[in-house]
Structure 1
Amino acid sequence: MAAFHFALVLLTLLSLQFSEASRLSLFASTNDAQAANSTKWAVLVAGSNGYSNYRHQADVCHAYQILKRGGLKDENIIVFMYDDIANNTMNPRPGVIINSPNGSDVYAGVPKDYTGDYVTAANFYAVLLGNSSGLTGGSGKVVASKPGDKIFVYFTDHGGPGLLCMPNLPYIYANDFIQVLKTKHASGTYDEMVLYVEACESGSVFEGLLPEDLNIYVTTASNANESSWGTYCPGSLTPPPPEYNTCLGDLYSISWMEDSDVADLNTETLEEQYLKVKARTLNNNTVGSHVMQYGTQLISNETVSVYQGSGTLNSTSNTFQSISFMGVVEQRAADVYSMRKMYESSTLEAQQKIELLKEIKEITSHRAHLDSTIESIKGELLDQEYLKERAPGSVLVDDWDCLKSMIRTFEKYCGSLTQYGVKHTRTFANMCNNGVTMDAMDEASKGRCGSYSMGKWNPATVGYSA
């Protein structure tokens, strides 16, 4: 009887092992078949314009070269960039864009899918959703993905608490963006998605908002409360060639791209790349930012090649690539920093210098106006003694319509926030979170800005941020 029981147990164990092996084999076959029919998609977005924001379009062009070298097809790479840099009169190398001091041209061959007036939040959403009918202008390319496909999204620009900027208003707001991602997931038209996001306070776009079950993995250049940084800037420890008066790249962005240039993407995982980028972007705990992760973090166990392809290594990669200290400039200050360097340049004619100095003064004056006015309104409408601050990790605001209305009301009287002024979004969110009424905001804004001459920052002309 004992021998019979032993034989029965042994048979059961063997059956279980065979069953498990068969199950794994079945899944492996399914995964192999899915991988064979899977398409890699990429959406690359530079959310700014103007030569002083050179670095954002340079970042996107470099990203395109990595993906192209990795085997992605142009029909599956969709590029948003204003396209006013390569042939700008300020560009010392006409028709060429570089992303590092010793870098090669990254502009060559880049698809111009959505440029100029067509670089909008609405077009970005339509592209992600595969909604051709929702497009305005551009090439018409969308992410026409199917259930087994992988999607890589890279965004680089300015940002603020709860939003990402675009060169054409309105901006991308976190609640709208997350809803687009949820809708894309509900459509069942992708397997997994990876997002790399370069912007100030970029963590706030996902913190408390992005569910962990959408098969979406995100890394951001900064947490919810800090700036991101431009690099390869004139006058810094890692300067561009002397003829350049603007920053060539962004610290988080060049960190992941310069790694992708030289690493074996068939073996390096997304987690390993994240850790490298995190160390380099922290910039030796001096002037840097905290790279963050959100969403379905199990995806980070996959190799980078699943999303970026696996081409040959780039032998022309930048020689500065390391995790040593980088010279950086705060994102929101980088444009004026660049303009000042241009002004100091001996190559400009006298009249050009006069016009440039006038522009610098206008920009800095409007920024000072925004800072002082918002601080004054904050002091009046938010009782500091009873102010309720949200705990770290919490969503910025519950009522996003309230936030957008607060911003529109302020801009109506005080002028456009601009890509600089969005740093104050948290103040407007706190007003909503603490029950400040729209009437109170209207009265306070009108009282402080009723006589302010908005000039080119009049939202009736340039549009509202929200």
Structure 2
Amino acid sequence: MARLCFPLLVVQLLLLIAGVAGGPWQEFLRPQSDVDNDVIGTRWAVLIAGSKGFENYRHQADVCHAYQILKKGGLKDENIVVFMYDDIANNSANPRPGVIINHPNGSDVYAGVPKDYTGEDVNVKNFLAVLLGDKSALTGGTGKVINSSQDDHIFVYYTDHGGPGVLGMPTLSESLYANDLVETLVKKHLAGTYKSLVFYLEACESGSIFEGLLPANISVYATTASNANESSWATYCPGGREGEAPPPEFMTCLGDLYSVSWMEDSDVHNLRNESFELQYDNVKNRTLSWSHVMQYGDLGLNAQTLDIFMGSSDPANHSATVGSTDNSLGQLSSAVHQRDADLLYFWHKYRRSSDGMSEEARKELLEVMAHRSRVDKGIERIGGILFGTEAGPQFLTAVRPTGWPLVDDWDCLKSMVRAFEEQCGLLGQYGMKHTRAFANMCNAGVGPIAMPNLASKACAASTPSAF
């Protein structure tokens, strides 16, 4: 009995010597907690796929894969908010009903994914309300929000089509503009409801969402699939190289290059030992042949390890569950322009259609191509009216210097787009690439009052709808 009590007696004497209240021995004997590992409070995550339609399979596949990583890492469903239209897994075009894969040899990533906001509930208002933790601003969905505190870490992953200064949503009549997103992040920072936030963004011209806008002093670190003036890329597409093409029954791309790169990197590494900076370098090197992966905001946060935001699990087991078992993660040799992936799908759908369905598939393909042509010609004509047929295209595509935001007056940009769409039809996923043209008009002093007349002249032949 004396031998069992002796250690306790020694500890009591040391505590008395050091002073029980605040002494060094008290800190030494305190059980280790999340405070010591810089994981305080709760890990939160928001995952959003901003598209719909089987031609955009890859976006929801990306989100489902991201969910599996976080779930394996120990995050609870109550702390993961998922936005996805949810029209892929049980789509009649899906060759594996009820299943979604994100790699040619991958297993199902759809199983168990929470359906927090689906269908029309995937919208700008709900997304921003979830980020702010504002339940009163929600419409539909489960009502789940990021109810975080000052000690929490938040991970946000957004994958979709985009354009200069804008991100898509499934409802093509609305878009998320860069200034509204950044203003929401600033507002959340001012509310003191997080310790640090990491934002991964997959979209064309995704760098323009943060370029010249995201402050470096609000504890937000962001990486993007591309810089402010280039496309991002789809991968694991039909016609790809051996080992990179989807199973032959698939007619659509399974993932996005930037997205699968960071997720497959997460699958095969111990997230306790890998920093955001290291993952950024790995992803940048893997996508270097296609786009320039960028980082913005508080770059000091990239020294933190991934597990602080994503949790951590046995990488070997994780890899076997959702991704490739190849740990080398070399560069992918085949990819498709993000804005051309839908054309690829509709082409393969037409090519493989039976006699009874070929005419319908052909019509779909032609409608998509016609919409592209109408949008391009409408913008080209407006540029010609304003600046002349030779100078117009050059002016409308001009890129501002690095570090400058896309536009000085965001309200002007939004009004210009609305006025154009009222006369010419929705820009759609493809047409978002032209937001730079509208921004340049605003920067040159062309106000939205002039746009209805300009668009009417440019698009007088018809008023098409978006596809």
Using the size of structure 2 for normalisation, the TM-score is 0.88
| Counterparts of 2:39 and 2:381, CA distance in 1 | 60
CA distance in 1, matches of 2:170, 2:56: 11
* Structure-to-structure mapping, 1:121-140, within 5 angstroms: 121-140=124-143
Q: Which residue of 1 aligns with 2:410?
A: 400
TM-superposed CA distance for 1:310, in Å, is: 0.3
Q: Distance in 2 between matches of 1:401 and 1:382?
A: 23
Superposition misfits of 4+ residues, deviation over 6 angstroms: none
1:193–1:338 distance in 2 versus 1, CA, 3 Å: same
Q: C-alpha distance in 2, partners of 1:440/1:149?
A: 47
Q: What secondary structure sits across from 1:106 in the alignment?
A: coil
Partner of residue 419, structure 2: 409
**Separation (CA, whole Å) in 1 of partners of 2:33 and 2:308:** 17
Q: 1:245 aligns with which of 248, 251, 255?
A: 251
Q: Percent identity?
A: 56
Gaps of 5+ in 2: 1-23
What one-letter code is carried by the residue in structure 1 that aligns with 2:370? Answer: S
Match 2:156 to one of 149, 153, 158 = 153
Aligned: 1:254 with 2:260: yes
- Aligned pair 1:82/2:85, yes or no? yes
1:68 to 2:78 alignment? no
Could you tell me how far apart the structure 1 residues matched to 2:227 and 2:39 are?
37
Q: Are the equivalent residues in 2 in contact too, given 1:240–1:248 (CA < 8 A)?
A: yes
Q: Which residue of 1 aligns with 2:206?
A: 202
Give the equivalent residue in structure 2 for 1:16. Answer: none
8 Å CA contact 1:382–1:431 kept in 2: the answer is: no
Structure 2 counterpart of 1:296, which letter?
Answer: D
Contact 2:205–2:228, Cα closer than 8 Å, also in 1? yes
Q: What is the alpha-carbon distance in structure 1 between the residues aligned to residue 127 and residue 44 of structure 2?
A: 14
Q: Distance in 1 between matches of 2:463 and 2:193?
A: 49
Which one of 324, 330, 333 corresponds to residue 323 of structure 1? 330
Is contact 2:49-2:60 (8 Å) kept?
yes
Partner amino acid, structure 2, of 1:438? P
2:274 maps to 268
Structure 1 length-normalised TM = 0.88
Deviations 1:220-275 (A, max 9, x none): 00000000000000101110011111000000000000000000110111100000
Question: Which piece of structure 1 moves more, 375-384 or 100-109?
Answer: 375-384
Alignment of 1:25-44 (within 5 A): 32=35, 35=38, 37-44=40-47
2:376 to 366, 371, 391: 371
Matched with 1:338 is 345
Partner of 2:148: helix, strand, or coil?
Answer: coil
Moved more, 301-310 or 383-392: 383-392
* Range moving further from structure 2, 33-42 or 207-216: 33-42
- More deviation, 183-192/378-387: 378-387
Q: CA deviation at 1:358?
A: 0.3
TM-fit CA distance, 1:390: 2.4
Alpha carbons 1:381, 1:431 under 8 Å: kept: no
Of 171-180 and 380-389, deviating more is: 380-389
Q: In structure 1, how many angstroms separate the alpha carbons of the residues matched to 2:134 and 2:235?
A: 36
Paired letter, 1:299: L
Aligned to 1:451: 461
Shift of 1:31: 7.7
- Secondary structure class of the residue paired with 2:35: helix
* Structure 2 counterpart of 1:52: 55
2:361 aligned partner: 356
1:20-78 CA-to-partner distances (Å, cap 9, x unmatched) read x99x99xxx99826956410000000000000100000000000000000000000000
Distance 2:237 2:34 in 1: 45
In 2, the alpha carbon distance for the partners of 1:33 and 1:319 equals 34
- Find the residue that maps to 1:32 and give its secondary structure: coil
Match status 1:442 vs 2:452: yes
CA deviation profile, 1:188-234 (whole Å, cap 9, x unmatched): 01000000000000000000000000100000000000000000001
Structure 2 CA distance for aligned equivalents of residues 186 and 93 of structure 1: 46
Q: In 2, distance between residues paired with 1:219 and 1:306?
A: 17
One-letter code aligned to 1:79: V
1:171 pairs with one of 164, 175, 182: 175
Match of 1:232 in 2: 236
Q: Counterpart of 2:436 in structure 1: which amino acid?
A: R
* Matched residues, number: 428
Matched, 1:213 2:217: yes
Cα deviation code 1:310-332 (max 9, x no counterpart): 01212423146622333100001
Q: 2: distance between equivalents of 1:436 and 1:182?
A: 29
For 2:213 and 2:312, how far apart are their aligned partners in 1? 32
Report the CA distance between 1:375 and its aligned residue: 1.1
CA displacement at 1:381 relative to structure 2 = 1.4
Q: Deviations for 1:107-131, whole angstroms, at most 9, x for unmatched residues? A: 0000000000100011000000000
For 2:359, give the aligned amino acid.
Answer: I
3-state SS of 1:294 partner: strand
Partner of 1:301: 303
Contact 2:287/2:331, CA 8 A, preserved across alignment: no
- Supply the distance in 1 between the matched residues of 2:463 and 2:442 (Cα, whole angstroms): 27
